[in-house]
Amino acid sequence: MGPSSTDTALRLAALTKTFGRKPVVDHIDLEVPRGSFYGLVGPNGAGKTTSLSMAVGLLRPDGGRAEIFGLDVWADPARAKELIGVLPDGLSMPERLTGRELLRFTGLLRGMDLKEVERRAGELLTVLELDRAERTLVMEYSTGMRKKIGLAAALLHAPRLLVLDEPLEAVDPVSAATIKAILQRFVRGGGSVVFSSHVMAVVEQLCDHVAVIASGRVVASGPLRAVRAGRSLEERFVSLVGGRIPEVGELAWLSS
């Protein structure tokens, strides 16, 4: 199947990964419709980063499949990766490059024309308000600036699908508004986005679809309204995933 013949941007089927004896991703099925803004939520350690890493060809699954617009990521990685822009977790980057050099490097690795790379890099640096930092080495960037330059690198080749691991974490509110606007415009222009987040309000604000992952399994997924089931996403999340509220008497030593 070619990229134009499917309405699914990303499909995970029985995707599985075990570290040691523990399956951290346990037969995950997920369907991200083309043109959707898809949020992935789940408690710490649920397996979100591991799933996304396998979905984009960064971590080899022990079982199952990942398809991008119908292309098997692990059978045809080069073609699949042309269609995606990725913001990985923890983002290891060439630290001794400036922001602009990083974008130039990314563009050339992607086989893009240098002039076009320079034009897009200039625009991305301006829109993301990184232009004053373009001569600064990445190693001197703040956490939020690293997210922004990572996002710029993910957008540079105008992908069809963005896969972003916590893109708004550690980003200040002004930059967050810029990033949200860029992502919304990307989706309006026909792109698809899947991202992980711990902030339910952000997911409710941006997403039309959501999946809740807990202990390596999908416990709910689909259109946001269906998953919320008449409640706030936070309430639904806590009821699906559980959670422990300290009881009266516990942590009593905290009271003065």
Residues within the interface to ligand ATP (CB under 6 A): 19, 24, 42, 44-50
State the minimum distance, in angstroms, from the CB of residue 7 to ligand ATP: 27
Any idea what DSSP says for residue 183?
A: H
State the minimum distance, in angstroms, from the CB of residue 25 to ligand ATP: 7
Any idea what DSSP says for residue 246?
A: P
State the minimum distance, in angstroms, from the CB of residue 50 to ligand ATP: 3
Please answer whether residues 63 and 16 qualify as being in contact, where contact means their C-beta atoms are separated by less than 8 angstroms: yes
Tell me how far apart the terminal alpha carbons of the chain are, to the nearest angstrom.
Answer: 66
Burial class (CB in 10 A: 0-12, 13-18, 19+), 124: buried
Please answer whether residues 215 and 26 qualify as being in contact, where contact means their C-beta atoms are separated by less than 8 angstroms: yes
Q: Going by DSSP bridges, is the β-strand pair 71-72/63-68 parallel, antiparallel, or unpaired? A: antiparallel
Give dist(CA 99, CA 136) in Å, integer.
Answer: 7
State the minimum distance, in angstroms, from the CB of residue 164 to ligand ATP: 13
Closer to ligand ATP by Cβ: residue 97 or 241: 241
Closer to ligand ATP by Cβ: residue 160 or 236: 236
Closer to ligand ATP by Cβ: residue 112 or 241: 241
State the minimum distance, in angstroms, from the CB of residue 32 to ligand ATP: 17
State the minimum distance, in angstroms, from the CB of residue 198 to ligand ATP: 6
Planar angle of CA 101, 105, 110, nearest 5 degrees? 150
What backbone torsions phi and psi does residue 233 show, to the nearest 5 degrees? -60, -35
- Amino acid residing at 200: M
Closer to ligand ATP by Cβ: residue 24 or 137: 24
Closer to ligand ATP by Cβ: residue 44 or 92: 44
Q: Going by DSSP bridges, is the β-strand pair 84-87/37-41 parallel, antiparallel, or unpaired? A: unpaired
Closer to ligand ATP by Cβ: residue 56 or 124: 56
Look-up of token digits 């080899």? 60
